Chains A and B, each alone.
Chain A
Amino acid sequence: MTSKVVVSARQVQKHFGANVVLRGIDLDVSDGEVLCLVGPSGSGKTSFLRCINHLEKIDAGELIVNGHHVGYRRHGNKLHELREKEIARARADIGMVFQSFNLFPHMTVMENITAGPVTVKNERLAEVKQRGHELLARVGLADRAGAYPAQLSGGQKQRIAIARALAMRPTLMLFDEPTSALDPEMVGEVLAVMKDLARDGMTMVVVTHEMGFAREVADQIVFMDGGVVVESGPPTAVLANPQHDRTKAFLAKVL
């Protein structure tokens, strides 16, 4: 596989005050790859994911997304911090799905989907709506365009959140525990949409506790604990034949 690298992390560190959450993360995500970040809570999975679209700022190391340093521009040997507008522009190419959906409650489903492309990319509303209907059909909610988020179930909300992110035509999708806030019977419908995306060749970084999904869909599984990557590789290696004691202990609890 010689496809280009979308996300490249080298010794990424992050701390909140005295609390060190990332102690040097190294990983690569290739174009079209699905990477699942797994590990116990507090291991730094979500923090790392949020660093990728600069919701959190890294404190040391190098994080390159779509060929650019996240939050910085390189001039010779200097990294210049980006202005807020430039950070926003970089984020427009990265879709993010949150654990708590974060749909805009004052907008209808269709308004949620069109808000990004119309506001950020100045696209024509009619065209975005057209695309919005296609996306709604894709996530199986073609008839809910006029509904407000409060009228939807958790699983439906998360599928709309995915459609909203896709409306920006992202090159990379980030999922932060997308099924953790859902009732068990709704997990399946969201995972089905994500599987469909993965089949379509979308590059995805997924923080998840759904080991079944990770085994089935992931090209690469990264097991994190204590702010470091303990073990990584294809599901057949990490899940079926873990090398590290910490990985074994974690998998014994969740599988």
Chain B
Amino acid sequence: MKMKMKPESSPVPTSSQASEPLDLVPVRHWERWVAAFVVVLAVALAIGQLATNPRFQFGVVGQYLFSSPIITGVGLTLELTFGAMVIGVVLGTLLAVARMSPNPILSGISAVYIWFFRGTPVLVQLIFWYNLAAIFPHITLGVPFGGPHFASMQANSLVTPLAAGLLGLGLNEAAYMAEIVRAGIVSVDHGQTEAAQSLGMSRAQTLRKVVLPQAMRVIIPPTGNETISMLKNTSLVSVLAIAELLYSAEIIYTRTYQTIPLLIVASIWYLAMTTVLSIGQYFIERKFGRGYRRESSGPRMPWTRRPAPALSGTAELAEVK
């Protein structure tokens, strides 16, 4: 384009040239049409398979989708997800604050915790908690070093499979959440802390009123990610024979051999739950985005992202050359 323009354009445009409007020829993105056609074709073939292949057994899917063991499993999956996330967020925040404390013992212990729980597979941790009774048959509340005992319990009755599942998932999650919270706290400008301190706020007040609310903007998106990840990781507790969603489906298909339709049932529920969580995340993000949004830009749903501008940009650049 540029090369062609040069000989035509005279250094000083005369009045006659200015009066004659020039036609603009926009770039034709034919390659976009080709790409779109290929992708649409592939999607159509996949949908065709899904609709016509009788071995998906959608009748069976419909039969089990709202059956009571599946619904109970969904409930248990939600319980595990929220329970483990609550443990993870609370303990993770404490760990993050400890990690940044001036006390070297606190920050050291926090670092070791994170190192250990991030460094071992969550599946191993789950089975470990499940078998806690093998190491500590009795759990006793009392004064240590030979002092009096107040209460003693069988470890197996205290750490039920569900408790083991919650502990395993929650304590593991705390290690990841600690790093997410720490990243959020570090992202808040130090001037904010100084401004709060100069108003006379204590360290705890500064953290609660000024730093954490701003850190939330950075903390929420990865926490939403973690929650969705947790929702699916709860399927790991099926090894502890807890009848959450996946294990409930497994129980049915080991009896009926309808493996694929029941996996579809579970997947439909997982998808439905992650969709709801994503919507929830959008509204939480909007709440903590107060004061940051530009007034002109309206709210935008996170699941309808704009196409990446870099792609079209490079395409246009290529055209100019």
Contact = CB atoms under 8 A, between A and B. Distances in A.
Interface residues of A, number: 34
Given A100-B191, A120-B205, A106 B200 contact: no
Given A102-B191, A104-B210, A53 B291 contact: no
A115 B290 contact: no
Contacts of B213: 106
B208 to A, nearest CB: 9
B199 A92 contact: yes
A91 B198 CA distance: 6
Contacts of A89: 200
A164 B189 CA distance: 19
Contact of A85 (B191, B195, B202): B202
B209 interface: yes
Contacts of B210: 104, 115
Given A91-B197, A102-B195, A105-B292, 8 more contacts: A55-B194, A55-B198, A84-B203, A95-B198, A102-B194, A104-B210, A106-B292, A151-B295
Given A91-B200, A92-B200, A148-B291, A105 B194 contact: no
A120 B200 CA distance: 6
B214 interface: yes
Contacts of B191: 98, 100, 102
B199 A106 contact: no
Interface string B112-144: 000000000000000000000000000000000
25 contacts: A55-B197, A85-B202, A88-B202, A89-B200, A91-B197, A92-B199, A93-B200, A94-B198, A96-B194, A96-B195, A98-B195, A102-B189, A106-B213, A106-B288, A106-B290, A115-B210, A119-B199, A119-B209, A120-B200, A120-B205, A121-B200, A150-B292, A150-B294, A165-B199, A168-B199
Interface of B: 189, 191-192, 194-203, 205, 209-210, 213-214, 288, 290-292, 294-295
B256 to A, nearest CB: 54
Contacts of A55: 194, 197-198
A91 B205 CA distance: 14
Contacts of A102: 189, 191-192, 194-195
A104 B199 CA distance: 12
A149 interface: yes
B197 A115 contact: no
B290 A148 contact: yes
A107 interface: yes
Contacts of B197: 55, 88, 91
A91 B200 CA distance: 5
Interface in A41-100: 53, 55, 84-85, 88-96, 98, 100
Given A100-B191, A102-B191, A116 B199 contact: yes
Contacts of B199: 91-92, 115-116, 119-120, 164-165, 168
B264 to A, nearest CB: 44
A147 B292 CA distance: 11
A211 B200 CA distance: 31
A53 B201 CA distance: 13
Nearest to B210: A104
B214 A53 contact: no
Nearest to A107: B291
B230 to A, nearest CB: 27
Contacts of B195: 96, 98, 102-104
A85 B204 CA distance: 10
A106 B195 CA distance: 14
B112 to A, nearest CB: 26
Contacts of A120: 199-201, 205
Contacts of B189: 102
A115 B209 CA distance: 8
